[in-house]
Amino acid sequence: MSLRLYVPADSAAVAVGADDVLAAIEVAARNRNLALDVVRTGSRGLFWLEPMIEVQTPQGRIAYGPVDVSDAESLLEAMSGNGAHALRLGAPEEITFLKKQTRLTFARCGVVDPRSLTDYCSHGGYKGLERALADRAGIVDTVTQSGLRGRGGAGFPTGIKWKTVADTNASQKYIVCNADEGDSGTFADRMIMEGDPFLLIEGMTIAGIAVGATRGYIYSRSEYPRANAVMNEAIAAARKGGMLGRDVGGSGHAFDLELRVGAGAYVCGEETALLESLEGKRGEVRAKPPLPAHKGLFGQPTVINNVLSLVAVPHILEKGAAFYRDFGMGRSRGTMPIQLAGNIKHGGLYETAFGITLGELVDEIGGGTLSGRPVKAVQVGGPLGAYFPRALFDTPFDYEAFAARDGLIGHGGIVVFDDTVDMAKQARFAMEFCAVESCGKCTPCRIGSTRGVETVDRIVQGIEPAKNLAVLRDLCETMKFGSLCALGGFTPYPVMSALTHFPEDFVPRPQLEAAE
Amino acid sequence: MTNYQKWNADVAAQVIGAHVGREGPLLPILHELQETFGYIPEPAVPMVAQALNLSRAEVHGVVTFYHDFRDAPAGRHVLKLCQAEACQSCGCDTLTARAEKALGIKIGETTADGRITLEPVYCLGLCATAPSAMIDGRVVGRLNDKKLDALLTEADR
């Protein structure tokens, strides 16, 4: 009899030792003449419990974690015996962090073998495509009715984007998936590509059939080698299994896709810069109009959606627009895979309906800081997102609610900082990052960011602070309204929020660096 | 660490030829040239330009736009330390300073003996297990002094 183990091969699990733990367990098993049947899964997203190893029992899967190499012997003893172990977590679905979630998009992540098309199909995969094919003309309407909005951060209604492309006449249309997940604090795209890649393939296929596009590109990052490898394997498997190619699943529709990898430019996460990059050019932002929906990749009508938008689609098609729309609040419908990151006790992926408050996410679900110190600020939405103080922890996770408080939800990343953080330093970093990553096309972003760094420096050095604070505010206004894209346009969010909510950090201080 | 080939125009021509028929072939070509030689050798630029009917300036413009592409070989080991916000919240600054001190170089530089290149990276997507690092393509989470020192020792070889 062999023991079936589920061991995550997710990058974050591997980064904290999943491969080493598995190797130790394999050695221990050989010593006991115990056969193992190991399935490498993605992660369930409970990263403080990684490496989290699950064993198949007659009562279902039982999880243990976080497992260290030194636990291999005792863990194997427990798993092949009565199951008792200090690291035993019980049934993974019953762990509070997971139990309280509404996992629609991430239902299979950490459960299935991401490299197996068979596994995907036996866990409900391709049901969405089946429904889509049954009523091809109704796909766009279903997506529109579901209320799905762009999960990359802009929040534009996905169905309307699709309709625009569907209504165009062109010899070639494209589906482009923005997997250039460069925002710090976000890892949902990476997780889904590593844990359930066929879901993205299915979502893109549905988009292709809906708008009449036969080619697709996934634009991923060079910083994600594992995700890219898994994604490429899945694409090959889907092609082999007849789910990509000239006749998708025997439907008569052609759709094929390819993974392309960026080269370390943050701005390529901006959709028009991404298209330029895919075309083989410098990742410089295009002026809009024309919209990518009219003139996108190689000048052809193009649907460009974030990974998280596309992976929400199969579920919407399978269960219907109303099912998805019933989750959420206001104009933010459905679920959002929120990523709890940084200095947080229980970091990980938390998929839930819109409407949960920031305080619940950080304090209750996240358990506060990892360092045990008080939370001072949280940055929501990546490097271009605002820093929120505790006073704003009642803000519900909702596109409009965050906008009303001069913030954004972006790609759903929340980075927690404890009370040791220096907010002037964070504001300086935001400007510095913008300066490094600016594509250089528009002046407010290219020059403004550099002047921003200098101005923050002058403020903390005590050089005419009042005057320079006014300059910084004015500069932020210019960048916000004068930049071509969100890089220059949103950099003022972290800067201004730091200044507004934490003015005490901007008072001149003794310059320790100057002593060097 | 990876073994790269010495510059060879025939190999470069093969790499370029393998991608020429694709849509938007320039980035895939540059990636493979760098995977082959460890950097984008200067003599490859006119070859790429000719194959894609671009000017040398256009190819140079693309090569220099992207952080990934190198104009010279990196050290034998490449240690990337994430400098983005999630890692900042968990003390990446202190770890970076420690690595800089141990190696006697600043981040972005290579040691004089060509042993190791220390590079910043902006997000490896391991933000719930910060601070993060990548050594020769392998990811490391929850980086601390001890783990960092072990990585530096590993790169000693």
Residue-wise pLDDT tens digits, A264-286 = 999 999 999 999 999 999 999 99
Q: Are strands B77-82 and B133-135 parallel, antiparallel or unpaired?
A: antiparallel
- Which of A261, A290, A325 represents a domain boundary (last residue)? A325
3-state secondary structure of B105: coil
Q: How confident is the model over A152-204, as pLDDT tens digits?
A: 988 999 999 999 999 999 999 999 999 999 999 999 999 999 999 999 999 99
The CA–CA distances, whole Å, from A295 to A12, A278, A288, A298, A397 equal 38, 14, 10, 8, 33
Does the residue A23 lie in any domain?
yes
CATH number at residue B98: 3.40.30.10
Q: Are residues B56 and B89 in the same domain?
A: no
Q: Are residues A272 and A137 in the same domain?
A: yes
Query: Inter-chain contact B124–A344, Cβ cutoff 8 Å?
Result: no
Characterize A65-81 residue by residue with b for buried, 16 or more Cβ atoms within 10 angstroms of its Cβ, and e for exposed: bbbeeebbeebbebbee
Q: Are residues A197 and A285 in the same domain?
A: yes
Average pLDDT of chain B is: 96
Q: How confident is the model over A332-380, as pLDDT tens digits?
A: 999 999 999 999 999 999 999 999 999 999 999 999 999 999 999 999 9
Does A282 contact B at CB distance below 8 Å?
yes
Q: What is the mean pLDDT of residues A236-261?
A: 97
Q: How confident is the model over B11-42, as pLDDT tens digits?
A: 999 999 999 999 999 999 999 999 999 999 99
Q: Residue A514 pLDDT > 70, yes or no?
A: no
3-state secondary structure of A442: coil
Q: Are residues B36 and B81 in the same domain?
A: no
Q: At what angle do helices A188-195 and A307-319 cross, to 10 degrees?
A: 60
Task: Show the beta-strand stretches assigned E in A413-495.
Answer: 413-418
Q: Are residues B82 and B37 in the same domain?
A: no
Query: Inter-chain contact A342–B89, Cβ cutoff 8 Å?
Result: yes
DSSP string, A108-175: TTTTS-TT-HHHHHHTTTTHHHHHHHHTGGGHHHHHHHHT-B-TTTT--BHHHHHHHHHT---S--EE
Percent with pLDDT over 90 in chain A? 97
C-beta neighbour count of A319 within 10 angstroms: 16
Q: What is the mean pLDDT of residues A69-77?
A: 96
Q: Which residues contact A420 (CB under 8 A, 6 or more apart)?
A: A371, A373, A376
Q: In whole angstroms, give the CA distance from residue A386 to residue B61.
A: 33
Q: What is the pLDDT of residue A508?
A: 87
Q: How confident is the model over A85-143, as pLDDT tens digits?
A: 999 999 999 999 999 999 999 999 999 999 999 999 999 999 999 999 999 999 999 99
Q: Are residues A290 and A344 in the same domain?
A: no
Tell me which residues of chain B, numbers 5 to 64, contact chain A at a CB-CB cutoff of 8 Å.
Answer: 23-28, 30-31, 52, 58, 61-62
Pick from A120, A97, A101, A87: nearest CA to A21? A87
Q: SS3 string of A229-246?
A: HHHHHHHHHHHHCCCCEC
Does the residue A17 lie in any domain?
yes
Q: Are residues A136 and A276 in the same domain?
A: yes
Q: What is the pLDDT of residue A516?
A: 42
Q: Are residues A258 and A168 in the same domain?
A: yes
Q: Are residues B83 and B131 in the same domain?
A: yes
Name the pTM for this structure: 0.97
Q: At what angle do helices A423-437 and A492-501 cross, to 10 degrees?
A: 170
Q: Residue B125: left if φ>0, alpha if ψ -120 to 50, beta else—which one?
A: left
Query: Inter-chain contact B132–A283, Cβ cutoff 8 Å?
Result: no
Does the residue B4 lie in any domain?
no
Q: In whole angstroms, give the CA distance from residue A436 to residue A434.
A: 5
Q: Residue A16 pLDDT > 90, yes or no?
A: yes
Per 3-state DSSP, chain A is made up of helix, strand and coil in percentages (nearest 5) of: 45, 15, 35
Q: Are residues A252 and A127 in the same domain?
A: yes
Does the residue A441 lie in any domain?
yes
Q: Are residues B61 and B82 in the same domain?
A: no
Task: For an interface test with A, give the residue of B26, B65, B96 to mutate (most A CBs within 10 A).
Answer: B65
Query: Inter-chain contact A223–B121, Cβ cutoff 8 Å?
Result: yes
Q: What is the pLDDT of residue B155?
A: 85
Q: Sheet containing A53-57: give its strands across.
A: A35-41, A2-8, A53-57, A60-64, A88-90
Strand partners, A46: A348
The pLDDT-based confidence of B129 (bands split at 50, 70, 90) is very high
Count of structural domains within chain B: 2
Q: Are residues A393 and A500 in the same domain?
A: no
Nearest residue on chain A to B61, judged by CA atoms? A282
Q: Are residues A127 and A19 in the same domain?
A: no
Q: Are residues A10 and A123 in the same domain?
A: no
Identity of the residue in A278, A347, A370 whose CB atom sits nearest the CB atom of B24: A278
Does B73 contact A at CB distance below 8 Å?
no
Output phi, psi for A287, to 5 deg: -75, 145
Q: What is the mean pLDDT of residues A437-441?
A: 96
Structure tokens at A299: 């000048």
- Which of A379, A394, A418 represents a domain boundary (last residue)? A418
Q: How confident is the model over A294-316, as pLDDT tens digits?
A: 999 999 999 999 999 999 999 99
Q: How far does the CA of residue B10 sit from the closest CA of chain A (Å)? A: 23
Q: Are residues A317 and A235 in the same domain?
A: yes
The CA–CA distances, whole Å, from A336 to A189, A270, A299, A312, A438 equal 12, 20, 32, 9, 29
The range of the structural domain enclosing residue A275 comes to: 117-325
Q: Are residues A258 and A388 in the same domain?
A: no
Count of structural domains within chain A: 4
Does the residue B24 lie in any domain?
yes
Average pLDDT of chain A is: 96
Q: In whole angstroms, give the CA distance from residue A513 to residue A129.
A: 59
Does the residue B3 lie in any domain?
no
A309 with A325: CB under 8 angstroms? Answer: no
Pick from B114, B113, B112, B132: nearest CA to B122? B132
CATH number at residue A87: 3.40.30.10
Does the residue B110 lie in any domain?
yes
Percent with pLDDT over 70 in chain A? 98
Does the residue B45 lie in any domain?
yes
Nearest residue on chain A to B27, judged by CA atoms? A280
Q: How confident is the model over A51-64, as pLDDT tens digits?
A: 999 999 999 999 99
Q: In whole angstroms, give the CA distance from residue A115 to residue A196.
A: 8
Pick from A48, A20, A12: nearest CA to A191? A12
- Which of A39, A65, A99 represents a domain boundary (last residue)? A99
Does B74 contact A at CB distance below 8 Å?
no
The range of the structural domain enclosing residue B148 comes to: 77-154
Contacts of B137 in chain A (CB under 8 A): 225
DSSP string, A192-237: HHHH-HHHHHHHHHHHHHHHT--EEEEEE-TT-HHHHHHHHHHHHH
Q: What is the pLDDT of residue A509?
A: 77
Does the residue A160 lie in any domain?
yes
Q: What is the mean pLDDT of residues A405-434?
A: 97
Q: Are residues A431 and A411 in the same domain?
A: no
Does the residue A108 lie in any domain?
no
3-state secondary structure of A482: helix
Using CB atoms within 10 Å of the CB of residue A478, give its burial: 0 to 12 exposed, 13 to 18 middle, 19+ buried: middle
Q: Are residues B83 and B54 in the same domain?
A: no
Interface ipTM > 0.90: yes
Q: What is the pLDDT of residue B156?
A: 80
